[in-house]
Structure 1
């Protein structure tokens, strides 16, 4: 569904709280939904083409990075960051 950026952020924060300490499988098209996952599997044509954390996949410069560049790069700075960390530091590889 279509939600504004602020609402999407609030949804993601709530999901993060609900998933804490649990094994959770998330299937999503939006990277923002999965970027905090311990492990991300990237599928293309039904095959796993990449696997890793958000930061590992960004460094690989593969399909995940291409999607990130199209979807999130410009939006990262518009969202409040985790624990006071600047969004640009998170996107650049800070954790």
Structure 2
């Protein structure tokens, strides 16, 4: 698939790359338990505070309404920066601890 990115898309890429490089956690995520959930929620809160959440959500619902190309750019840069995967940890935080 060939994407024709605009200069604005490339500026978005540079902004995302810069933020991720300078803000991703330096330490690896804990493997399990409350420490893992705390790590994930802290990282997601940091992303949200900087405006890097709700990227695909419609603007009417508080999101950014990014185009598919910009979402792809974000995910490419997220992977390139080796930012933490948090999905399973945040889902686990919805399950009450025993």
Larger radius of gyration: 2
Q: So what's the TM-score if we normalise by structure 1? A: 0.29
In terms of fraction of residues, the more helix-rich structure is 2
Q: So what's the TM-score if we normalise by structure 2? A: 0.29
Report 1 or 2 for greater relative contact order, CA contacts < 8 Å, sequence distance ≥ 6. 2
